[in-house]
Structure 1
Amino acid sequence: MIRELRTALPLALGLSLLAAVLAPTAHAQSAPCLDPNAPTTVEEQRLDDRLTPEGPAVGPELTRLGGFDDDVALFTTRLCATTTRAAARQLADGAGTNLWRAAVQRARTPQTWDAYDDRPLYWARLQATRALRQWQPPFTLTTTERAELVDRFDRASRGITDARFGAGVRRVAVTGFDPFQLFGTSVRRSNPSGAAALRLDGLVVDTPRGRVVLQAAVLPVLWGSFDQGIVERFFGTAADQAPHAFVTVSQGRPGRFDVERWAARWRGGFQDNNDVGEFGPVPDAAGWPQPAHEFIETTLPVDRLVNAGTAPYPVLFNRSFCEWRPGSPPGTGPVDCREDEPTPGAAAASGGGGDYLSNESVYRANRLRLGLGATTVAGGHLHTPELGQPVDPTALTDAAFERERRAIADQVVALVSVT
């Protein structure tokens, strides 16, 4: 039996209604306080991408279809009316939190546009952060202050600052991810791990082993945000509330779930959503205890997850990892990939989940767990099946795409509930 921990979001819903009155047709880029020539990120620039020359821009259209266009319009209207730094910080925190909670509420409510769709939140967030970068306030705003405002909104709109466990026998902190690899017609990609996180946040699940309370967040596909400690912020906040498990989730291989055995201290260089690649050991995040480990082994209840009988996808235990043998400089030379135990003194090359941000999310979460001495807390990673795209390259959705995302997200909920 699944119930919601937060059943009503009057502030978020009230803001949406107010937006409809204040600015029902406003477009963020046309607001008088915004400079359209101000620099924005590569990720934000994709807001202008279209599937066909005559079609709508994909990001704003998904925002509209998901019901968040009024929220974006209201945020821009309020931003233009902001006259002090303190008010700007308050707006970034409040509007970001309201957007996150509205997205969680939307994920649990039948919608004209699929409730399982994680993309409206992603694109609405980017419209708001672009507005913050283009904002011309009536006072001097330094580059550092502007970056802080963007960071505050971004973290709040991801659920990073909203982890509040209720009473339960078990408390589980979970993360999913934004869509990624958004080039060409792939700008319409979805990420089932992010869709699952929206459905998981605030849920209370009654299981044969007792009540499970879940708190979730959605991580960015950005090396820079990981450098700044976004993973540690979420799991560190959760750790203060005596959780029983840390579970990171991301999209993986076709047709199967994987419980990953090993997380590795290595970045393989693949580009993120800002087209930035990073290669080398996973750096520390300032302010958090982070002991040095080349590999960290999962402590999730693997047998229970594999044998839970969830459907429709098989759940497998992936034991693979890759290393540079002792004496080989990390990042050069042949890589040894196996399924047994890492060699003492070897340098990590990749975990079972690879050497990208999914691997780094579980590595950082569990490096923090070990640094905090939380050895009784279970920790590990689930890779979901890969989600395809609508068959028609000009379509934003189709029935098969929605069914596949729904099946993956529902199985994530079932698996996380048995950790």
Structure 2
Amino acid sequence: MHHDTTPEEDRADLDVPRRILDRSGFGAAVPLFAADLNDAADTEAARQAVAAHASRLWTEAARTDVGTVDDRPLYWARLRLAARLRTWRPAFDLAEEDRAGLLHLLETASRGITELLFPPGERLLRIVVTGFDPFRLDEDPACANPSGAAALDLNGWTFPVGGRTAVVRTAVFPVRWADFDAGLVEEALGRVHGEADAVLTLSRGRPDRFDLEVWNGVWRGGGTDNLGVARTGRALPPDAPEWTRSSLPVEEIAARVGGPVVVNTEVTEVPAGGGAPVVRPGGPTPGSAARRGGGGDYLSNEIAYRNTLLRDRAGSSIPAGHVHLPRTGSTGEHAPVLARVREIVAAVAATLA
């Protein structure tokens, strides 16, 4: 069977991604991975190779001693590895479901998802923060995502809070509807909602402001993802609520952090009786159907919705919610944004201490 690479993987062959990989040193991961794959004598050996190379990508990308944090080498290297794995023709019989399992392992282990684990200890505050891959790459193949950079910057951060120690673990999500449909958010964050003390999702938003999104909607508004796929309609079946709400201490965050930090309660809804969609600055009205959450109707709204729904279904009241980070023009502009994200995470931790 012939295995075609995806449009996203094909984009990794363009000049700009190649230059990013060469400059960062992450390009070296590709031939090393290919060699280990070709040496694999069976599915288990392939699994070990994929796990090792994927987790090494994550570990290297999340190193904190690198100066400017750049989320792009991890993104492009992962795609080059995925393309190699998808088109690999092993010397042994590899079942389709086994190849799919290897591709899934590559994703989760290189995104920090398999590492969302915390040490035991009464005195720890466990905080999870997630970001996203770059997107809209056809418009700007060099673009970065400050939320992905923030996840790399924060992973493993520990800091004192009162008499306790906060420990941060992070992951980076794909900008792909199919992964959300397949339950990647629930796989990554489901277990965490029994262990963590706070779960913050981050994404790239409007220029020059941080939005603390209060309301999340179940509606997908047709945005195109990194595979060129658009989705319109409900994210989840009718038994899921139209709206979920942030439990982040938004007023305290805004007061502590200062600057362009906005508590955003606006939504767009179809009112209970039906009719045209209406913008509600103060949040949804009873019985309405969601059309846009505070964070819109794309994947950032959806991760916010799924995260807070996991909280509710776990019967939990931990701080969980979404922060839209300012849209930055380049990785060089990440630094002040990342410093402010640390202040936001510290503000959440302070309310838990």
TM-score range, shorter chain: over 0.9
Unaligned runs of 5+ in 1: 1-34, 50-56, 285-289, 390-400
Unaligned runs of 5+ in 2: 349-353
User: In the superposition, relative to structure 1, how do residues 291 and 362 fare at CA in structure 2: closer, same or farther (>3 Å)?
Assistant: farther
1:74-131 C-alpha deviation (Å, 9 max, x unpaired)? 11110111120111122222221121111111xx1135xx3x1110000010010000
**Residue number in structure 2 paired with 1:380:** 321
Alignment of 1:249-398 (within 5 A): 249-283=202-236, 292-309=240-257, 313-328=259-274, 334-374=276-316, 376-389=317-330
1:324 maps to a residue whose letter is V
**Residue number in structure 1 paired with 2:59:** 101
The size of the alignment, in residue pairs, is 346
| 3-state SS of 2:12 partner | helix
Q: Contact between 2:3 and 2:86, CA under 8 Å: does it hold in 1? A: yes
CA distance in 2, matches of 1:109, 1:339: 43
1:264 maps to a residue whose letter is G
Deviation at 1:190, TM superposition (A): 0.2
Deviation at 1:209, TM superposition (A): 7.4
CA distance in 2, matches of 1:406, 1:276: 32
CA distance in 2, matches of 1:323, 1:303: 24
User: In the superposition, relative to structure 1, how do residues 103 and 43 fare at CA in structure 2: closer, same or farther (>3 Å)?
Assistant: same
What RMSD, in angstroms, separates the aligned Cα atoms of the two structures?
Answer: 1.9
CA distance in 2, matches of 1:273, 1:110: 27
What is the TM-score normalised by the length of structure 1?
A: 0.79
| 3-state SS of 2:105 partner | helix
CA distance in 2, matches of 1:308, 1:41: 44
Alignment of 1:6-405 (within 5 A): 38-49=3-14, 57-105=15-63, 108-110=64-66, 114=68, 116-166=69-119, 167=121, 168-184=123-139, 186-208=140-162, 210-240=164-194, 242-283=195-236, 292-309=240-257, 313-328=259-274, 334-374=276-316, 376-389=317-330, 402=332, 404-405=333-334
Deviation at 1:38, TM superposition (A): 4.0
Deviation at 1:259, TM superposition (A): 0.4
1:184-237 C-alpha deviation (Å, 9 max, x unpaired)? 4x0000000000000111110224574211110000000001111111122123
| 3-state SS of 1:100 partner | helix
**Does residue 353 of structure 2 align to residue 411 of structure 1?**
no
Moved more, 202-211 or 131-140: 202-211
Deviation at 1:263, TM superposition (A): 0.6
CA distance in 1, matches of 2:249, 2:326: 20
What is the TM-score normalised by the length of structure 2?
A: 0.93
Q: Contact between 1:231 and 1:364, CA under 8 Å: does it hold in 2? A: yes
Give me the identity figure in percent: 40
Deviation at 1:142, TM superposition (A): 3.1
Q: Contact between 2:248 and 2:319, CA under 8 Å: does it hold in 1? A: yes
CA distance in 2, matches of 1:156, 1:194: 15
Deviation at 1:410, TM superposition (A): 1.9
| 3-state SS of 2:45 partner | helix
CA distance in 2, matches of 1:172, 1:349: 30
Deviation at 1:71, TM superposition (A): 2.2
CA distance in 1, matches of 2:49, 2:346: 35
2:66 maps to a residue whose letter is P
Q: After the TM superposition, which segments of 4 or more aligned residues of structure 1 sit over 6 Å from their partners?
A: none
User: In the superposition, relative to structure 1, how do residues 61 and 338 fare at CA in structure 2: closer, same or farther (>3 Å)?
Assistant: same
